[in-house]
Amino acid sequence: MPEVIFNGPAGRIEGRYHHVKDPTAPVAMIMHPHPQFGGTMNNQIVYDLYYTFVKRGFSVLRFNFRGVGRSQGEYDNGIGELSDAAAALDWMQGFNVESRGCWLAGFSFGAWISMQLLMRRPEVAGFISVAPPANLYDFSFLAPCPSSGLMINGDDDAVVPPDSVVKLVERLKIQKGIVIDHEVVPGANHFFADQQEALMSNIDAYLDRRLEESNEEAA
């Protein structure tokens, strides 16, 4: 899990990167929660997401948004953070020009950033949005959502009411050609305290199914 430093729009960006020698291996990038509320790439859920892709043969990057850890710059209300994410994906894809697939994952604020990046990158094949803050940020840019993916939240989330996620998922489900899966973790709050095992169990099952479907289509 080598530490990496690369150039971003506000200066240096700090990350952790796992590289697979197979030049066709898929890539994945993980985005962390809100920088002003303690979110970093070392958040436990971000860490777990990183390794669930590593275990499945992906080259994987997680990184700190501007102003977090050793990443330069200052918090920019999501605008600069989206630019950071785009630069990070560009950097990783520079090492994986023959990659056969790309996934994005994000937790809370990171889910919002990742979904915006998804709209700008047609090569993204799938996404995982953990506790997407549908009540706090505008997700109307998903019109239409270009890729199938998973949205997962807890039913005891006081930060993002479960109903707001349901409404977002229902709006996206009416679109043709994509499938939005939605899972709810019973008893989980916004941070999935004492429920991280259940969270990752759902995510692992979803990823395994999607990757198996992808392999069958390729065959």
Residue 183 bridge partners (DSSP): 152
pLDDT score for 173: 87
**Residue 216 main-chain phi, psi, to 5 deg:** -65, -40
State the amino acid at position 195 in one-letter form. Answer: Q
CA distances from 195 to 51, 103, 110, 191 (A): 17, 24, 19, 9
Burial of 106 (0-12, 13-18, 19+ CB in 10 A): buried
Backbone dihedral region of 108: left (phi > 0), alpha (psi from -120 to 50 degrees) or beta?
left
Contact 148, 207 (CB under 8 A): no
Q: What angle do CA 133, 205, 144 make, to 5 degrees?
A: 45
CA distances from 148 to 25, 179, 202 (A): 20, 5, 16
Strands 124-130 and 102-107 come out as: parallel
Q: Is residue 151 classed as helix, strand or coil in its secondary structure?
A: strand
Rounded distance between C-alpha atoms, residue 85 and residue 10, angstroms = 12
Per-residue pLDDT of the chain (219 residues; tens, 9 = 90+): 699 999 999 999 999 999 999 999 999 999 999 999 999 999 999 999 999 999 999 999 999 999 999 999 999 999 999 999 999 999 999 999 999 999 999 999 999 999 999 999 999 999 999 999 999 999 999 988 999 999 999 999 999 999 999 999 999 988 888 999 999 999 999 999 999 999 999 999 999 999 999 887 776
Share of the chain above pLDDT 90, in %: 94
Count up the domains in the chain and report the number. 1
What is the extent of the structural domain holding 213? 3-218
**Residue 121 main-chain phi, psi, to 5 deg:** -130, 95
**Residue 168 main-chain phi, psi, to 5 deg:** -65, -45
pLDDT score for 1: 60
Give the CATH number, domain containing residue 33: 3.40.50.1820
Rounded distance between C-alpha atoms, residue 77 and residue 69, angstroms = 17
DSSP string spanning 92-125? HHHT-TT-S-EEEEEETHHHHHHHHHHHH-TTEE
Q: Which of 144, 96, 91, 136 has its CA nearest to residue 112?
A: 136
Tokens for 137? 């940020």
pLDDT tens profile 24-41: 999 999 999 999 999 999
